[in-house]
Amino acid sequence: MRILAIGCHPDDLEIGCYGTLYKYVKQGHEVSVCHIANGNMGHVEIMPDELRKIRFDEAAAAADIIGAKHYSIDIPDIHVTAENDELIYELGRVMRKTQPDVMITHFDRDYMNDHMQAYYATFRASFGASIPHFHGAEAGPVVPVCPIYHMDTVAGVGFIPTEYVDITEEIDVKLKALSCHKSQLEWMLEHDGIDFLDFVRTCSKVRGYQCGVGYAEGFRPSLNYLRLTTKRLLP
């Protein structure tokens, strides 16, 4: 299968589904990752232009660790909206290039608007990419409308998984990939007193307790017409 995971900020996928993505890669599937926002507002001391470059490099390094292909849309933080036609066109081009059989993205009731809009942009673009005369035909052939899975929210707030993926064997690589985001990990530890690696490990442990394994990631399918399937698509 071909899997496309679309996160809002450069570290969102690492937090929510990198264990699952790495499991896909280990099983021989083709995995691509894409972040929409460039993360330029994610620091107090590092200025946006410099941070944008840092965070792109961090995300590229994280994708390399799990063997995924990396894409970036480069929208400034706090400016992600599914009403942005250019964003939809660019996402559609990524979809035409990667030809996903399944996509993973944010929950539609996450803690910040950028995350919610990332899901709606993914939903809108995936339908557009299935239409022959929609923008982006130069990037590749149309993409059939495919299932979308919502990944967990930060700390699991307001999110009840209906499906789990056992990432007990993948947790260390998940955290290694997350460790590439030094600008964020160091900033959160220094300014907020949060050890984010421990935070993510703990959340994965809690999801593991819920489904009877060491560590897990939780998901919910998008319950919309043309998105449903009888098949188990998560690894």
Question: How does pLDDT run across 143-154, given as a tens digit for each residue?
Answer: 999 999 999 999
CA distance 157 to 212: 20
Q: Are 41 and 78 in contact (CB under 8 A)?
A: yes
What pTM was computed for the model? 0.96
Tens digit of pLDDT for each residue in 166-219? 999 999 999 999 999 999 999 889 888 999 999 999 999 999 999 999 999 999
pLDDT reading at 42 higher than 90: no
The predicted model gives 43-63 an average pLDDT of 92
Confidence class for position 222, pLDDT limits 50, 70, 90 = very high
Interatomic CA distance for residues 106 and 118, integer angstroms: 7
CATH code for the domain defined by 2-221: 3.40.50.10320
pLDDT of 9: 97
Domain spans of the chain, in order of start: 2-221
- Give dist(CA 130, CA 200) in Å, integer: 35
Give backbone dihedrals phi and psi of 3, rounded to 5 degrees, phi first: -115, 135
Residues 6 or more apart whose CB falls under 8 angstroms from that of 57 comprise: none
Q: What is the residue-wise DSSP string for 84-106?
A: -HHHHHHHHHHHHHH--SEEEE-
How sure is the predictor about 45, in pLDDT bands with cuts at 50, 70 and 90? confident
Neighbouring-strand partners of residue 164? 218
